[in-house]
Amino acid sequence: MAREVEKVVIIGSGCAGYTAALYSARANLKPLVLTGAMPGGLLTTTSIVENYPGFPEGVDGTDLMIRMQQQAERFGARVEFGSAVESVDFSSHPFRLTVDGAEVRALTVIIATGAGHRHLDLESEAALEKKGVTYCATCDGALPMFRNQPLVVVGGGDSACEEATYLTRFASRVYLVHRRGQLRASQIMAQRVLDSDKIEPVWDSVVTEVLDVAQDKVTAVRLKNLKTQGDRTIDCAGLFVAIGHVPNTQLFKGQIAMDEAGYVARREGAQTSVPGVFVAGDCSDHVYRQAITAAGMGCQAAIEAERFLGQQNL
């Protein structure tokens, strides 16, 4: 039997997706949330979240996401775990999605697929993730394991400079490892790094190994200088990888407008180039990328989906 046409389908289950689910559920729209392969989104890859308002002691990232899920379900959101959206067709209305081989039709769609941290793609990096390797200084920088310790940041863009500067509050020393001899970051951010007496740039260098997998924690990084081919090891308690993000938007290529990097173009509020398709969170935001901003955008998207349905008498 064909499924009924859904009023709101939310693709993604991070802060943006679950907040959209909460608001549209409370508007009695019984949203369907397709969690994708990473239920709870990127926040589940971090440990304690200390900058989400309302949790003075901090909150475990996974716990926060489970709470958001439960809050949305309490008002009637239906969460389908692990469901993979294989394709979308926004060319006619209702929109059509292929989910695990079956067709789902939707009057509105909220895209909240997030973004992934770009990785160095080293085996030792993967083995030590959450054990000293992290992708978010704002989330993890203040953890006790990093306090008064030497730390290494990789990258040369605004993110890397921002993270390195932020980490100077906690670290004994910050090494900024960049593969070229010049920062890509905006001048003001770059200057802040270059002026800091706590940050030491390490130019023309790439990380070749994170030590020490045998000890199950970060103790140092091994670097190669691309100009001299010389090796160097820097002792550190943490490696902060800040080499950019990759929005999870492959699925929507050719269906909605995106910028060159693949971030969904957001029109007024949460609108996309297709009326009835809305967007929220990191898949459309390369500037703020915070749990709270993603949640705010999820709220906007849900309110706009509700208005769209009202205006169209759907």
Q: Which residues bind ligand NAP (CB under 6 A)?
A: 118, 120, 154-160, 162, 179-180, 184, 206, 243-245, 286-287
Of 45, 238, 59, 93, the C-alpha closest to 151 is: 238
Looking at beta carbons only, is 96 or 184 nearer to ligand NAP? 184
Q: 302 to each of 27, 166, 193, 260, 309, how far by Cα in Å?
A: 9, 33, 40, 26, 11
Cα–Cα distance between 309 and 108 in angstroms, integer? 8
Radius of gyration of the CA atoms of the chain, in A: 21
Q: Which residues partner with 110 through β-bridges?
A: 10, 278
* Residue 242 C-beta: closest distance to ligand NAP, Å: 6
Nearest to ligand NAP of 48, 120 (CB atom):
120
Catalytic residue from among 15, 100, 121, 139: 139
The span from the CA of 133 to the CA of 213, in Å, is 11
Residue nearest to ligand NAP (CB): 157
Nearer to ligand NAP, 245 or 266 (CB): 245
136 has catalytic annotation: yes
**How far is 76 from 277, CA to CA, in rounded Å?**
21
Here the tokens at position 247 are 């929005």
Please give the Cα distance from 280 to 294 (Å, whole number).
6
Q: Is the peptide bond before 94 cis (omega within 30 degrees of 0)?
A: yes
Distance of CA 115 to the CA centre of its chain: 4
Given the complex with ligand NAP, which of 182 and 312 has the nearer CB atom? 182
The CB-of-79 to ligand NAP minimum distance in angstroms stands at 30
Is residue 85 within 8 Å of 97, Cβ to Cβ? yes
Task: Judge contact between 118 and 246, C-beta under 8 A.
Answer: yes
* Residue 160, amino acid: A
- Shortest approach of ligand NAP to residue 5 CB, angstroms? 38
Q: Is residue 210 a contact partner of residue 104, using CB atoms and an 8 Å limit?
A: no
| Encoded tokens for 237 | 């308690």
- Select 149 or 165, whichever has its Cβ closest to ligand NAP: 165
Residue 157 or 276: the one with the smaller Cβ distance to ligand NAP is: 157
Q: Any bridge partners for residue 8, and if so which?
A: 108
Given 63, 89, 100, 140, the catalytic residue: 140
The catalytic site residues sit at 136, 139-140
